[in-house]
Structure 1
Amino acid sequence: MPIELPFDDEEASTDVDLRTQVLRFIATGVLSAVFDFGLTVLLQHVVEWSPTWSKAAGFILGTTIAYLINRRWTFRAEPSTVRFIAVVALYAVTFGVNVGVYGWLSDLWDNTAIYSAVAFCIAQGIATVINFVVQRAVIFKIK
């Protein structure tokens, strides 16, 4: 069974309106992005890992946090192995998009914290839109 996060005590339900889902998704995304960006910058500029490996580690941490909160709070979906596998597949795709865009922009620009932040925001923004649309339209409709 997938890892569960006891985020609230209300019964899970997919009947959350779009506005609430968007606001919760954004709040969860901001929290997850803080962890993602923090680890990315730490590994890249302090530990001196490559931008790609740093972003990969940050992405894994951030998306793990995001899944645990979004499943329970944003989409209020019951635990499901099929859904968990679908999320893992989606995250594999957005991992490639996120890390690929970040690495590509990092190769184009100077290796500074400012350019890293801009590259991070662009890569994260693209991945976030993909994640929300697919999760809302497909994954959290799975019974």
Structure 2
Amino acid sequence: MSAEGVVVRVPLATQLFRFICTGVVGAVVDFGSTYLLSLVGLSHAGSKTVGFILGTITAYVINRRWTFQAAPSRRRFVATMGIYLLTYLVQLGLFLVCIPWLEDHGFSDFWTQAISFVIAQGTATVLNFIIQRWVIFRVV
């Protein structure tokens, strides 16, 4: 929606490109926070939770304004946070399953976390785009 209240339709390809760019920013915030918090002794689950929350808030704000150009909405925010909770559970589960498997294969702590993060984040990103594009910010 523009400043004048006119709905601006953003093409799917543009939305997908912007969603990916936003996801990269959110992922940097998420992974950076997760890794740094694990270095100071927070558990894998605890550091991943804090990182996810920080990355999620970053991505929501950017996606709402830039990717989907949607007006602020409490209902949309609550719905998006519900979807993020669902994808968080999927993401955390994949992250925690991958860590011991990669450790057993001799990967260093950094690579174990990085690879686990990419697998979990990639899955969550696909789920998030599908749900946000066709449910939360659906084009009417």
TM-score, with length taken from structure 2: 0.88
The CA distance in 2 between the partners of 1:61 and 1:78, in whole Å, is: 22
Q: 1:83 deviation in Å? A: 0.9
Runs (4+) off by over 2 Å: 8-14
Matched residue SS, 1:77: coil
Given the alignment of the two structures, is residue 139 of structure 1 paired with residue 136 of structure 2, yes or no?
yes
Which aligned pairs between 1:1-12 and structure 2 lie closer than 5 A? none
Aligned to 2:113: 116
| Contact residue 15 and residue 68 of structure 2 kept, 8 A | yes
Structure showing greater relative contact order (alpha-carbon pairs closer than 8 Å, 6 or more residues apart): 1
Contact 2:48/2:92 (<8 A) preserved: yes
Q: Is the 8 A contact 2:9 2:139 kept in 1?
A: no
Root-mean-square deviation (CA, aligned residues, Å) is 2.0
Q: Which residue in the other structure is 2:75 paired with?
A: 82
Which residue in 2 is equivalent to 1:39?
A: 33
Structure 2 unmatched runs, 5+: none
Give the structure 1 partner of residue 13 of structure 2: 19
Q: Which runs of 5+ in 1 are unaligned?
A: 1-7
User: Match of 1:4?
Assistant: none
Secondary structure, counterpart of 1:49 in structure 2: coil
Structure 2 equivalent of residue 59 of structure 1? 52
* TM-score of the two chains, using structure 1 as the length reference: 0.87
Secondary structure, in 3 states, of the residue corresponding to 1:76?
Answer: coil
Percent sequence identity is 47
In structure 2, C-alpha distance between the alignment counterparts of 1:107 and 1:77, rounded to whole Å: 41
Question: AA paired with 2:127?
Answer: I
The answer for the alignment partner of 2:62 in structure 1 is: 69
Change (3 A) 1:134 1:80: same
1:104 counterpart (91, 97, 100): 97
Q: Kindly state the Cα deviation for residue 34 of structure 1 after the two structures are TM-superposed.
A: 0.6
Shift in CA distance, 14/121, structure 1 to aligned 2, threshold 3 Å: farther
Cα deviation digits, residues 88-123 of structure 1 (max 9, x gap): 110110110111111111132226101110000000
Bigger Rg over Cα: 2
* Aligned mates of 2:87, 2:4 — CA distance in 1: 30
